[in-house]
Amino acid sequence: MVKINQSSKTQGVSINKIVICLALVTLYFNTQSTDPFNSPKLWVLMLCASLLLGELFIFRKTIFSVLKSNLTFGFSIAFIISLFVALIFSDQKYIAFFGEYMRRNGFLQYLCLWIIFVYTALKVNKSHSRQIYNLAMFLGLILSFYGVLQHFGRDFVGWNNPYNPVILTVGNPNFASALMAIILILNFSAFLNVSINSIKRVIHFGLVLLNLLVIIYSNSRQGLIASALGIIIFLLVLVYKKSAKLGGFFTVITIVLFVTVVLGMLQKGPLTSLLYKGSVSVRGYYWRAAIEMFKDHPLFGVGLDSYGLFFKEYREPAYSLSYGFSITSSNAHNTFLQFFATGGALVGILYLLFMTLVFVTSIRKIKYCKDNELIFFLGLFSAWLAFQAQSLISIDNIGISVWNWVLSGFLVGLSSELDFVNESKNKVLSQVSSAKALVISWLLFILTFVLVSLLYQGENRFLKLRDGKIPGLSENKQVLIESIDEINNSKFTDTYYKLVSLTRLDGNEYAKKIENDILVLENSNPRDLDVLASIANLYQNLGDRNKEIIYRNKIAEIDPWNAENLLALGIAYRNNLQQDEMQSTLEALLKFVGNHPISTEAKKELKF
């Protein structure tokens, strides 16, 4: 009896760790970082995963016996291994490991999420509904209050935000609405759970309304559709459990409604005026580019989180003509297509199968659930489905994707409880030394903290340089040079930060240093269009037409539909008295720009 109580207590502590990690990743941002949202969330995710990994490492033998017996676990492991293989074959190792600037969807993020998924699935049981409901209440209240403040212009942070002001702690109104949809569904589930006292249920219902209000304030249909889908599925399953015929009838209505909604979002059908947004058309360009990347790189993709390095090569001419020649995208805005494009067939298929197995496992569990256990599990499942729905048109934002992996862990862990996991969990608890696990966890945490500190320094140094907050920066040239060198010599600083830091130097006085430093950046990433454009502009300003022409041609290979670059290339040929090359460049430009205003400018400029 004592052992059982100890096991229960230990598992309660374990779930509290998960809940705290989930809350921290969701809420944390850092205004002292150039990227205040994604990088800080990755750091918190790394620290949380390091603490959990120590415990999993000690438990490895028993855990492996559990994992190898479960198909869903097996595919999750295969997915992480496939990501590691894709990492090895990625040209840009920094991006593949840490993730793209302002995204951070690299191997490291998914490894940490997988660790959290495994830990959650092994530790969860049906008695942990209280922790999840309390988290939904806490986050629902905090985020809704913050969202209301943002809506009415009372945000305590002066964000440089071109979007709707309701960005919460995830940096974008679409992300904010998707996050609130997940929390709304969990609060709705708690409201219907009669095992909770009446006062708390009333609070949960009030939070449902408040969460909905924030979603409306965000002016993002993404959150409305995701929350509506989750609630409808939730209620539909309850009806089906009561009456299969009535459930089947409402299922048909739901499918018809869902198809109508999708058509409306695609600018077809009666709901077009309500649901269609121009951003849906933009996503079509992103998706088609991802498909083309995958077709040309089917085995290992273009490189983990390297979508942005290839987008301009694969974008359609109409995109550049409609949205601007310099506008780009660093993500496919569809999680599944992103994996196929950047990781290849194996990564994409394994992730798809992993999520499919979570779905199938959950459906099987629902058949056996009853009463409040059903309400709890169904709330988790509906929130998980809401995430999957928004992932079809959105980016794998860390503050939201962590919910996918934690919810997947809950669903898989609770579903497996019927078979063998409970017994295995008890074996784990009896076989492992808590003290040894604690030592290893904290050792890994300290090592991870050192890495996080280095990553933070890179972000913070650039922020101070960009904003001129380094003492002596404005009046002492040596301080400026040392600050730039410090950023450029760091292995834990993004290429973008290194490139932008060089713009602080006077182009005439420090032309040679800029040239040397920027060529180092090109050598490390020859596909970086920002670097190539900066080099081309540097040589243009120095009057070195031959080198300018070389780099503008490099840009044209990677960014063939950039008429502005082609025009600059044509002018360089004209100034270099290369008439035939100038004429060929003009013809290439006019071939795709049609009646765009740049065609008139090109015809005027590109003539002798």
Closest-CA residue to 394 (of 203, 141, 225): 225
Q: What is the CATH number of the domain that holds 536?
A: 1.25.40.10
> What residue has token string 């040679």?
512
Task: Examine residue 459 and state whether it is found in any structural domain, yes or no.
Answer: yes
Residue 504: is its pLDDT beyond 60?
yes
Q: Is 16 exposed, middle or buried (0-12, 13-18, 19+ CB in 10 A)?
A: middle
Dist. CA 41–CA 30, nearest whole Å:
9
> DSSP string spanning 260-315?
HHHHHHTT-STTHHHH--HHHHHHHHHHHHHHHHHHHSTTT-S-TT-HHHHHHHHS
User: Tokens for 298?
Assistant: 């089917």
Task: Examine residue 460 and state whether it is found in any structural domain, yes or no.
Answer: yes
Is residue 532 within 8 A of residue 548, CB to CB? The reply is no
Rounded to an integer, the average pLDDT of 141-166 is 93
Closest-CA residue to 126 (of 354, 367, 378, 360): 378
Closest-CA residue to 338 (of 365, 366, 302, 377): 302
How many Cβ atoms are within 10 Å of 46's Cβ, its own excluded? 20
The residues, ordered by sequence, that sit 6+ positions from 502 with a Cβ below 8 Å of its Cβ are 484, 488, 514, 517, 518, 534
E strands, 81-228, in order: none
Dist. CA 400–CA 177, nearest whole Å:
10
Task: Examine residue 538 and state whether it is found in any structural domain, yes or no.
Answer: yes
Dist. CA 597–CA 321, nearest whole Å:
10
Task: Examine residue 405 and state whether it is found in any structural domain, yes or no.
Answer: no
Dist. CA 498–CA 511, nearest whole Å:
16
3-class SS of residue 20: helix
Taking only the tens place, the pLDDT of each residue in 209-251 is: 999 999 999 998 889 989 999 999 999 888 887 766 676 666 6
* Res. 547 pLDDT band, cuts 50 70 90: very high
Task: Examine residue 171 and state whether it is found in any structural domain, yes or no.
Answer: no
Taking only the tens place, the pLDDT of each residue in 444-467 is: 999 999 999 999 999 999 999 888
Residue 499: is its pLDDT beyond 90?
yes
Alpha-carbon dihedral 229, 235, 240, 243, rounded to 10 degrees: -140
Report the pLDDT value the prediction gives residue 491, as an integer from 0 to 100. Answer: 86
Considering only residues 310 and 491, tell me which one the structure prediction assigns the higher pLDDT: 310
Residue 469: is its pLDDT beyond 70?
yes
Taking only the tens place, the pLDDT of each residue in 37-52 is: 999 999 999 999 999 9
Taking only the tens place, the pLDDT of each residue in 293-328 is: 999 999 999 999 999 999 999 999 999 999 999 999
Look at 65-69, 95-99, 318-322 and tell me which has the smallest mean pLDDT. Answer: 65-69
Dist. CA 249–CA 271, nearest whole Å:
22
Report the pLDDT value the prediction gives residue 375, as an integer from 0 to 100. Answer: 93
Dist. CA 96–CA 98, nearest whole Å:
6
Taking only the tens place, the pLDDT of each residue in 11-27 is: 557 789 999 999 999 99
Tabulate helix, strand, coil % of the chain (nearest 5): 75, 0, 25
CB burial of 251-272 (b: ≥16 within 10 Å; e: otherwise) equals beeeeeeeeebebbbeeeeeee
Task: Examine residue 450 and state whether it is found in any structural domain, yes or no.
Answer: yes
Is residue 186 within 8 A of residue 143, CB to CB? The reply is no
Residue type, 235: L
Dist. CA 228–CA 390, nearest whole Å:
12
Rounded to an integer, the average pLDDT of 413-433 is 53
Is residue 344 within 8 A of residue 297, CB to CB? The reply is yes
Taking only the tens place, the pLDDT of each residue in 261-303 is: 656 555 565 655 555 555 667 888 999 999 999 999 999 999 9
Q: Is 190 exposed, middle or buried (0-12, 13-18, 19+ CB in 10 A)?
A: buried
State the DSSP code for 561. Answer: T
CA separation (Å) from 106 to 44, 48, 110?
15, 17, 7
Closest-CA residue to 20 (of 47, 39, 42, 1): 47
Report the pLDDT value the prediction gives residue 268, as an integer from 0 to 100. Answer: 62
Residue type, 507: G
The residues, ordered by sequence, that sit 6+ positions from 314 with a Cβ below 8 Å of its Cβ are 289, 292, 293, 296
Q: If DSSP states are collapsed to H, E and C, what string results for 62-94?
A: HHHHHHCCCHHHHHHHHHHHHHHHHHHCCCCHH
Task: Examine residue 466 and state whether it is found in any structural domain, yes or no.
Answer: yes
Dist. CA 120–CA 408, nearest whole Å:
9
Closest-CA residue to 239 (of 253, 231, 228, 250): 250
Task: Examine residue 342 and state whether it is found in any structural domain, yes or no.
Answer: no
Q: How many domains does the chain have?
A: 1
Total number of residues shown for the chain: 608
User: Tokens for 70?
Assistant: 């479960």
In angstroms, the first-to-last Cα distance of the chain is 94
The residues, ordered by sequence, that sit 6+ positions from 265 with a Cβ below 8 Å of its Cβ are 221, 225, 275, 276, 277, 280
* Stated pTM of the model: 0.92
Rounded to the nearest 5 degrees, what angle is found at the Cα of 155, between the Cα atoms of 454 and 168?
Answer: 65
Q: What is the residue range of 469's domain? A: 444-605
